[in-house]
Amino acid sequence: MNAVTHATRPAETHAIDDFEVIRVEANLGAEIRGLDLTGPVTDELADLLRSLLWEHQVLFFRNTGIDDAKQAEIGRIFGPPVADSIAKRRGVKDEDIIPFNTGPYSNGYYGTPWHADATYLETPYQVSILRSVIAPELGGDTAFSSGISAYEALPDEVKQKIESLDAIHRPNGKAYRLIDDEKELADYLDEYSGVAHPVVITHPFNGRKVLYVNEGFTKEVVGLPEDESKELLRTLTHQFYRPENIVRFKWQPGSLAIWDNRSVQHYGVADYGQAQRQLVRIVAQGDRPRR
């Protein structure tokens, strides 16, 4: 942990009188201490959380003491709630809050490959918020990797090559893992048959360039022969495995992570054996990613 910033705000509410922003890695991540999230979600708190998030890409909080309803209220700071695409087809409403049981990982769900949430949608989630309810003693971290530092470290000739390219995103890996029923699978794959997003996007709120392809959902680069597309995607997605771009978060009950799906990808680490791991996830709708 390094670079502690003590921040003092006007004493409009006790919740944001005094807090600390502790940067966790050089390229992304900040732990926020001393900010009470249990109180009213004021405009001032909303502005503060948005500006911290657009700056640090992923925010971590410990011992928040918040419940599902407060987490949902915090989610609305960033946009309207959205249900997962598979759950939605099964009747779950956008506002429903369903605890997300990821353990033991032998149940087949875990782990997740590197991905930003729901990039197979035209308007993928802007922000996701996970809160730990049950955490394994050891293991089950979530890792986050920055598309901003991944982009910045690319050689200039690669930046030039990719600046006007689009890539197709599909949820087929996720669908095969989570849907057993053949008809449901076929209908789902038909409904989410692929959407094109720019390979490099401009972040809508901080104007920074972001490498926007992910191992989980990005399937092909538009207009390139198959081999060339595969090779380029392999090179680009490998940037997200570089330790320089990664921060890793250990969960404890009550911990909260808020991440910006336009600037980071994440990975659920499947190393917790038979332990239970339960999280509550709230996501906020975003706009269409733009170059």
Which residues are part of the catalytic machinery? 115, 117, 266, 281
**Of 37, 111, 133, 118, which Cα lies nearest the Cα of 82?**
118
- In angstroms, give the least distance from the CB of 204 to ligand SIN: 21
Residues that bind ligand SIN (CB under 6 A): 102, 112, 117, 142, 266, 268, 279
Give me the numbers of helices (H) and strands (E) for the chain, helices first please: 8, 16
- In angstroms, give the least distance from the CB of 43 to ligand SIN: 29
224 CA to centre of own chain: 28
Pick the closer one to ligand SIN by CB: 117 or 220: 117
Listing DSSP states for 102-150 in one string gives --SGGGS---PPSB-TTTTSSS-EEEEEEEEEE--SS---EEEEEHHHH
- In angstroms, give the least distance from the CB of 34 to ligand SIN: 25
Pick the closer one to ligand SIN by CB: 216 or 289: 216
Structure tokens, 179: 């849907």
Rounded Cα distance between 116 and 94, Å, is 19
Pick the closer one to ligand SIN by CB: 124 or 268: 268
Pick the closer one to ligand SIN by CB: 142 or 237: 142
- In angstroms, give the least distance from the CB of 140 to ligand SIN: 7
| Tokens 């994440």 found at | 266
**First vs last C-alpha separation in the chain:** 34
Length in residues, the chain: 291
